[in-house]
Amino acid sequence: MPGKTENTPASMDEAPLTIDHLLRLRASQMPDTPLIAYPHNNKDYTQYTAPQLNAFAYRAAKHYKKSISQRASSEAPEKVVALLGISNFDYVISILALAKLGMTTLLLSTRITDEACRHLLNKTNCADVIVQPAFEKTMKGVRSGYDGPLNVVGMASRGLYEPEVVPEEKLTLEDMRFDTQFDLEVEKSRNMFIVHSSGSTGLPKPVGQTHHAVINNAYTISRGLVTSFLTLPLFHTYGVIVVFGAIYCGKIASMFSANLPITGQNMIAGLKATRPDMLYSVPYTLKLVAETDEGIEAMKICKLICYGGSSCPEELGDKLTAAGISLLSVYGSTEGGALLTSSRPESDKDWNYLKVFPHALPYIRWDKHNEGVYELALLPGWPSEVLANNPDGSYSTRDLWQQHPIDPLKWKHVGRLDDTIVLSNGENATPVALEGSVRDSPYVDQVVCVGAQQPALGLLVIPSERTMGMSRAEIIRKMWPCIEAGNARMPAYAKISADMIGFLPIGTPYPATDKGTAIRPAFYRTFRVQIESMYAKYEGHNVSDGLSLSEEELRAYIRKAITSALKLDDPSALTDDTDFFSLGLDSLGAMQVQGSIIRELNTGRQIGQNVVFEQPTVRKLARYLYHLRTGEAEEKSDKQSEIEIMKGLVEKYSNFEQHVPGNSDKEGDYIIVTGATGSLGAHLVAQLISKPNVQKVYSLVRAKDLTSAHERTIQSLKLRLVYEDLSAASLSKIVALPSDFSDAHLGLADEAYSKLLDTVNIVIHCAWQVNFNMDVTSFENAHIKGSHSLMTFCLKSRRARPASFNFCSSISSVASSPSEIIPETLPGYEYAMPMGYAQSKLVSEKLCDIAARKTTLSARVLRIGQVSGDTKFGIWNATEAIPLTIRSAKTLGALPAPVNDEVLSWIPVDVAAGTIIDLSYLPPNTQKGAPAFHVSHPQRLSWNRDFLPALKAAGLEFESVKPTEWIRRFKAVEQDAVVSPEVKLLEFFQGKYAGDEVRSAPYFETVKACENSQALRGVGEIKGDVIGRYLEFWRKGW
């Protein structure tokens, strides 16, 4: 028992309750086993046993007891004492000494500012700080601005605690206790130490770890039972837990000298001197060691290298594993402890994938962040969890992961939510893998990706000393293989071009965490001028400089630029009328072409950021640039030209074969749904498979194989929280198929396509790329052609009637109508909003109508209005305009209240899905043509009168101000899209709220839709309870 006199060795089965109890147990159980080694002369390592550590801690505790007031019993509140100093042996002994005294230790980073230090002392009610001599000046600065009393005590050094034990001081383990007045069963739930976040997005946050949690983590990390070498600071959870893990398992942990700089040579010397089984370090240190063959050989001494603090660049990891070095990553957090590990059999080469510890599995939730990327969340009940940041008691870690393409239990860490960069086109990029690849270059000391609210990503690089005397072009050439490796891991729109690389001087200091990781927001603030200058050089020039080319010369120039960007083997594939994007041009390629135009051509006037998207053929782009420079009026207006293009697309795809009735007769319904990875599509699938008459739902999704298609569909259901309510029988109805809508057979194998022809009787086409920059012709291949292919499929059905085709269009296809009330009819071409997305939807509406007139196909146009969150959970994508507007209440303390009010028409996503299903089940058309229905809420909502009061009633605090005042406040805050994601829509908000009144939106008639849909007829008003659920969901991400 914890309180017994320890005259005999304690049983190894006795469970330690506190860290001091653990130390005393080990002193009794393994008195001659060295547990910690430290090089006091920076070279020769001295080893210390548990009895020595216990005695040293006892002496240091006696010293501290003289100058720090004590806790009387376990009924007394926690007393916090801070430590400030480098991670040397004195620091270890002080942690153990304070544990003996029943104190909670606040582990202060040596890198934080005086303000941050004062903040942490205040937050933890800490009035005592133990400091090393080198940091006494720092504490003077902290004290000068500190409100309360602050007792600063010198840290106990070796001269005080390490002299040989003299005969008269032969104390028993029981004699070296200071906690006999405490109830250890109570103390195990007290905080043993407090660490803090890096403060990368503000002031650091203190995070406590109880004795129970610390011992749990020490057990988890020590189960390998090996000797170790530690380079990590002890004021981070990872470092201090390694020390406690060594004490727990009885295997020595050697500490890198805190007095030495971490260099490749110093690390090699430490590894050779200690010859550990395991090295605990961070990727940056591993890179330094791996730069020489000697370093590689030194690392081979270790059976295992465990890294943490950040992801390891894949090139570095591949290099080390290829050399026969085994890598291990244990993922944990200050708040949650150790959660995942990459521990695996020797035959498993996936060094960069981790699995959840089995005992942690019940407490893990994966929340989808965007396509293929998930945020890890901790559920209530996990022993090491000490904080919750969600209403349900869970903790969202803000760490982002990708699932292994084959093994669903493996996950790769790809970055943090704080790392996400939002480009000006709305695309999100997580650049950690790219930065890791570039950082692996020996010519790079540090690199940070930039580009928030810019058209393209860029790199700001601090070169290494190897580049001394090199030109910019030579440095880029040396770096380029690593940049290419990084680009291979990024989506097309987030690749780096040579034009978008900026350099800082060699040795430039930058804001960094204790682990050497650049603090992104602080880095952006520190180098804001350099970043702005880099983009100004890229985008800005005298528009009259450069070549003045004829239209024919412009076509030749553009052909060459596009051929280069696409790396076309056969330039003849690019005709003057070939859509660039149909050949595979991506956002990076478009930016490269635009950059060439800006730098090399006389354009006469500034060109827009989306010029290549808006003019996506050689002929269009050449004509546009020529008329822009010469000022000559084009023969036709843009509107007339767009209408002609739409008409041409309709004519191109207006041929449909007649249906030949077949004898395939299946009972029940077999339904194709596209777009199941989106919110509306997920609700469609969930509601359809719950219907008893539905036999199968075929989910056609973009995926590389059947497994991936199924996983994407299921993950979409889970993300919308509809999965848990579905029975196994319902889920068995889902058949997910990898598809390609640009293909005439939908990208399906012949056997699968044939089977669907035999069975399917309803098609609901919901998939469409949401991109408001692309020209209508860029939607042709995958979308307009895809609609035609799906209608052709319906007409090829082997059932008695063709499968019905239910096209989920958009109210944007008619939103330019001059009428205040828009009927449920097919419009003229001029009524589509002037963007490719709306125009492509209208083209497909026209094709539905032609197919329904020419054949026996029952085709329906279902125009979807503004979709809001569902009525049950309130899940509404927090990156959309409305949620981001509401988020500004947190940032600005205000929301806009237009003078003339604003009328809203929102339809909850689950109601929209029910309405689509009702309309898709209508009997075959009796009239020629495709009927149109508006899937829009029949009752409108007032922004000022209904919505804002409901937000206040739900607990949101804000001031209602005129829109112009709201915009003024918006511009005044720091334009940091990481801290305040709403700033990425500033340009949109400036357009919407140009004055204190807003333009009234038209009313979309819903008479026909309500007549034919029970779901739409029965929809209730969006009132306070639903709005409260929306707000609750949004707040989880704030």
- As a whole number, mean pLDDT of residues 655-682 equals 93
Q: Reply yes or no on whether the pLDDT at 582 is more than 60.
A: yes
At residue 197, what is the residue type? S
CATH number of residue 626's parent domain = 1.10.1200.10
Q: Is the separation of the CB atoms in 434 and 494 below 8 Å?
A: yes
The answer, yes or no, to whether residue 171 has pLDDT greater than 80, is no
Q: Which of 429, 425, 481, 433 is nearest to 454 (CA)?
A: 425
- What's the total number of domains in the chain? 4
Other residues' Cβ atoms within 10 Å of the Cβ of residue 761? 20
Look at 20-24, 789-793, 813-817 and tell me which has the smallest mean pLDDT: 813-817
**Cα distance between residue 611 and residue 927, in whole Å:** 43
Residue of 782, 424, 744 whose CA lies nearest to 581 = 782
8 and 139 share one domain:
yes
Instruction: Identify which of 292, 269, 273, 289 has the alpha carbon closest to the alpha carbon of residue 281.
Output: 289
Alpha-carbon dihedral sign for residues 350, 353, 359, 364: negative
Show the tokens assigned to 377. 């969340």
Stretch 661-689: mean pLDDT = 94
> What percentage of the chain exceeds 70 in pLDDT?
90
Q: How many CB atoms lie within 10 A of CB 631?
A: 8
| pLDDT score recorded for residue 993 | 79
Distance from the first to the final alpha carbon of the chain: 47
pLDDT for 13 equals: 61
Q: Give the integer Cα–Cα distance in Å for 422 and 420.
A: 7
Confidence of residue 392 (pLDDT cuts 50, 70, 90): confident
Q: Are 809 and 864 in contact (CB under 8 A)?
A: yes
Of 260, 292, 313, the last residue of a domain is 260
Give residue 393's Cα distance to chain centre. Answer: 21
Mean pLDDT along residues 929-940: 95
Compute the average pLDDT of residues 290-306: 92
Residue 644 included in any domain:
no
Three-state SS at 811: helix
Rounded CA gap, 130 and 156, in Å?
A: 9
Distant-in-sequence, close-in-space partners of 395: CB < 8 Å, separation ≥ 6: 335, 336, 377, 378, 385, 387, 388, 389
Backbone angles phi, psi at 389, to 5 degrees: -125, 15
Between 907 and 577, where is the model more confident? 907
Domain span at 460: 420-539
Q: How many helices (H) and strands (E) does the chain have?
A: 36, 39
pLDDT tens digits along 348-368: 888 989 999 888 888 899 987
Please, which pLDDT band fits residue 223 given cuts at 50, 70 and 90?
low
Cα distance between residue 658 and residue 646, in whole Å: 24
Q: Is the pLDDT of residue 428 over 70?
A: no
Cβ neighbours around 744 below 10 Å, total: 13
Cα(155)–Cα(86) distance, rounded to whole angstroms? 11
pLDDT tens-digit series, residues 110-142:
878 888 899 999 999 999 999 999 999 889 889
Domain boundary, last residue among 260, 287, 316? 260
- Tokens in use for 866? 């503004």
Which of 560, 568, 609 is CA-nearest to residue 587?
609
Token pair listed for 1017? 């007829």
Chain-wide mean pLDDT for the chain?
Answer: 86
CA dist 66 and 131 (Å) reads 16
User: pLDDT digit string (tens) for 739-760?
Assistant: 999 899 999 999 999 999 999 9
**Are both 451 and 580 inside the same structural domain?**
no
Token look-up 């190897």 returns 466
Q: What are the pLDDT digits (tens) for 61-116?
A: 999 999 999 998 899 999 999 999 999 999 999 999 999 999 999 999 887 888 88
Sheet hosting strand 104-108, strand order edge to edge: 151-154, 128-131, 80-84, 104-108, 191-196, 206-210
Q: What is the pLDDT of residue 636?
A: 46
What pLDDT score does 515 carry? 64
Q: Provide the residue type at 176 as one letter.
A: M
**Structure tokens given for 468:** 């001394």
In the structure, what pLDDT confidence band is assigned to residue 2 with cuts at 50, 70 and 90?
very low
Residue 625 has pLDDT above 50, yes or no: yes
pLDDT in tens, 301-337: 999 999 877 778 787 898 999 999 999 888 876 666 6
Q: Does residue 76 belong to any structural domain of this protein?
A: yes
Look at residue 393 and tell me whether its pLDDT is greater than 80: no
Classify residue 138: in a domain, yes or no.
Answer: yes
Start-end of H helices in 811-908? 836-854, 881-892
- Contact (Cβ atoms closer than 8 angstroms) between residue 366 and residue 401: yes
pLDDT of residue 106: 97
Helix axis angle, 750-759 relative to 785-795, nearest 10°? 60
Q: Give the position of tokens 């970043």.
A: 531
- 81, 208: one domain: yes
Q: Are residues 494 and 583 both part of a single domain? A: no
Cβ burial 877-904 (10 Å sphere, 16+ → b, else e): bbbeebbbbbbbbebbebbbbbeeebbb
Q: Are strands 959-961 and 421-422 parallel, antiparallel or unpaired?
A: unpaired
DSSP 8-state symbol, 166: P
Interhelix angle for 472-487 vs 432-439, to 10°? 130
Tokens encoding 25: 């147990």
Q: Are 447 and 456 in contact (CB under 8 A)?
A: no
Q: Which of 192, 226, 260 is the last residue of a domain?
A: 260
Give the 3-state secondary structure of residue 949: helix
pLDDT digits (tens, 9 = 90+) for 451-474: 876 767 899 999 998 999 888 889
**CA dihedral in degrees (896, 899, 905, 908; nearest 10)?**
30
Within a domain: residue 732? no
Most confident of 60-69, 600-609, 637-646, 767-776: 60-69
419 has a pLDDT exceeding 70:
yes
CA distance 478 to 543: 33
The Cα 541–Cα 872 span in angstroms is 53
Q: What is the pLDDT of residue 1?
A: 32
Q: Facing residues of 935 across strands? A: 864
Residue 124 lies in a domain: yes
The 10 Å CB-count burial string (b at 16+, else e) for 237-252 is: bbbbbbbbbbbbbbbb
pTM of the model: 0.53
Tokens of 946: 């209904």
What CATH number corresponds to the domain at position 432? 3.30.300.30
CA distance 972 to 243: 47
Alpha helices in 653-705 (DSSP H): 679-689
Q: Are residues 436 and 500 in the same domain?
A: yes
- 822 in a domain, yes or no? no
Structure tokens at 469: 């005397």
Token output for 206: 């203190």
Does 306 reside within a domain? Answer: no
pLDDT at 609 over 70: no
Phi-psi region of 567 (alpha: psi -120 to 50; beta: other; left: phi over 0): left
Q: In this structure, are 501 and 617 located in the same domain?
A: no
Predicted pLDDT at 9:
38
Mean pLDDT of 906-920: 97
Q: Which residue has the higher pLDDT, 25 or 665?
A: 25
The pLDDT of residue 384 is: 57
Q: Is the pLDDT of residue 824 over 90?
A: yes
* CATH code for the domain in which residue 1009 is found: 3.40.50.720
Closest CA to 436 of 480, 476, 486, 478: 486
Task: Summarize pLDDT for 701-731 with one digit per residue, the tens.
Answer: 988 889 889 999 998 999 899 998 999 999 9
- Residue 705, number of CB atoms within 10 A of its CB: 11
Q: Which helix (H) or strand (E) holds 606?
A: none
Q: Say if residue 576 is in the same domain as residue 507.
A: no
What is the rounded average pLDDT of the residues 632-650? 72
531, 563: one domain: no
DSSP state of 947: I
Most confident range (mean pLDDT) of 130-134, 143-147, 402-406, 888-892 is 130-134
Asked if residue 319 is part of any domain, the answer here is no
The domain that holds 120 is classified in CATH as 3.40.50.12780
In the prediction, which pLDDT does 11 show? Answer: 47
* 565 and 482 within one domain: no
d(CA 1018, CA 1010): 9
Same domain for 599 and 477: no
| Same structural domain, 520 and 594 | no
338 vs 356: CA distance, rounded Å: 9
Count of C-beta atoms within a 10 Å radius of residue 160: 16
Query: What is the DSSP code string of 526-559?
Result: HTHHHHHHHHHHHH---TT-SB---HHHHHHHHH
Mean pLDDT of 504-508: 90
> Is the C-alpha dihedral spanning 263, 265, 268, 272 positive or negative?
negative
CA proximity to 852, closest of 814, 920, 802: 802
Examine the domain organization and report whether 558 and 527 are in the same domain.
no
Kindly list the distances between the CA atom of residue 606 and the CA atoms of 388, 541, 542, in Å, as whole numbers in the listed order: 50, 9, 9
Q: Pick the more confident residue, 584 or 131.
A: 131
